[in-house]
Amino acid sequence: MAVLHINHLKTFTVAAETLNFTKTAQILDYAQSSVTAQIKALEKEYGVDLFQRLGKRIYLTEAGTRMQTYAKKILAMHDEMREELGQGMEERGTLLIGACESQCVYRLPALLHFIREHYPQIQVILKPIPSSKTSEKMLQDGTLDLAFIMDQEQSYNLLESVSLLKESIVLVGSTSHPLTVQPSAGLAEVMQHPLILTEQGCAYRTELEKALKEQNLHPENIVEFGSIEAIKQCVMAGLGLSYLPLMTVEKELRTGELSSVRLDVQIQQPTTKLLWHKNKRLTKVMKDVIDFTIKNVG
């Protein structure tokens, strides 16, 4: 009866989300009569009505809303128990990792190779996310397992974090740009030239904007791209200056395709961090990913 009861709760939670027994049956690949029977069995067991019908629509009753909370907890514990008891089996499933574009391209390939080598049955989904705030929210609501972000040192609501390294962000221009040949440049001078920047919400762009605001500077000539590679091509073509992580332009600076601009003001540099939900049970693959990252990135 216990296995049947778990299935009943699964059916109920889907029905509570869809508020549609037909759609619930389609999602679970059940006959609609089976969905109705399982809901009625739960109502009989607990002596309450879980749904009420108004016209052609159904709604959760107060008892149904309370049961939804308990059902989610019970199902989560059931999945955790099944996973714990099955630890001896080869790990399978999906690992959802969020990171900004620069991390995806320049920091994570070695990690992805490690996961592929040690956990070939794990499907890794890497989500490029430009904003650290978006990554935090996705971790908090469970749509990410792990996230690499750039941010200042701080604590996070419901999240564990480990600081890996302090990033170096540099102002770059084409080799023919007038500011690249000066010993240094002030932010007021920089504002006289077009800026080609990443999307708003990006940690290092945010720090640049803070520094400009402190000097009461308000950039007006900004071109915004979601792609660092596109930004680099525009800068190399002489279309403006950009403020980018050193790891993304190191090769071009070395080969002479780009030149750096030395600023006469200190701009706070972000730290690369790895985050996960503090209440999320860490699987073996997640623990190994965290350990590998600390040893090889930190």
pLDDT tens-place string over residues 153-163: 888 888 999 99
Query: Burial level of 25, CB count in 10 A (0-12/13-18/19+)?
Result: buried
Query: Burial level of 39, CB count in 10 A (0-12/13-18/19+)?
Result: buried
Taking residue 83's Cβ as centre, other Cβ atoms within 10 Å add up to 15
Q: What is the mean pLDDT of residues 152-177?
A: 92
Same fold, 93-167+271-296 and 169-261: yes
Return the CATH architecture of domain 169-261.
3-Layer(aba) Sandwich (3.40)
93-167+271-296 carries CATH number 3.10.105.10: no
Q: Are 75 and 6 in contact (CB under 8 A)?
A: yes
pTM of the model: 0.67
Q: Are 260 and 177 in contact (CB under 8 A)?
A: no
Encoding tokens for residue 163? 């600081």
What does the pLDDT read at residue 226?
Answer: 85
Encoding tokens for residue 189? 């001078």
The single-letter DSSP state of residue 130 is: S
Query: Burial level of 154, CB count in 10 A (0-12/13-18/19+)?
Result: exposed
Q: What is the mean pLDDT of residues 95-105?
A: 92
pLDDT in tens, 221-243: 899 998 999 999 999 999 999 99
pLDDT in tens, 57-90: 899 999 999 999 999 999 988 888 877 676 545 4
Query: Burial level of 88, CB count in 10 A (0-12/13-18/19+)?
Result: exposed
Among candidate residues 262, 231, 263, 234, the one with its CA nearest the CA of residue 248: 231
pLDDT in tens, 14-34: 999 999 999 999 998 899 999
Q: How confident is the model at residue 280 (pLDDT cuts 50, 70, 90)?
A: confident
Q: Residue ranges of the domains in the chain?
A: 2-85, 93-167+271-296, 169-261
Question: Which CATH number is 2-85's, of 3.30.70.990, 1.10.3720.10, 1.10.10.10, 1.20.1250.20?
Answer: 1.10.10.10
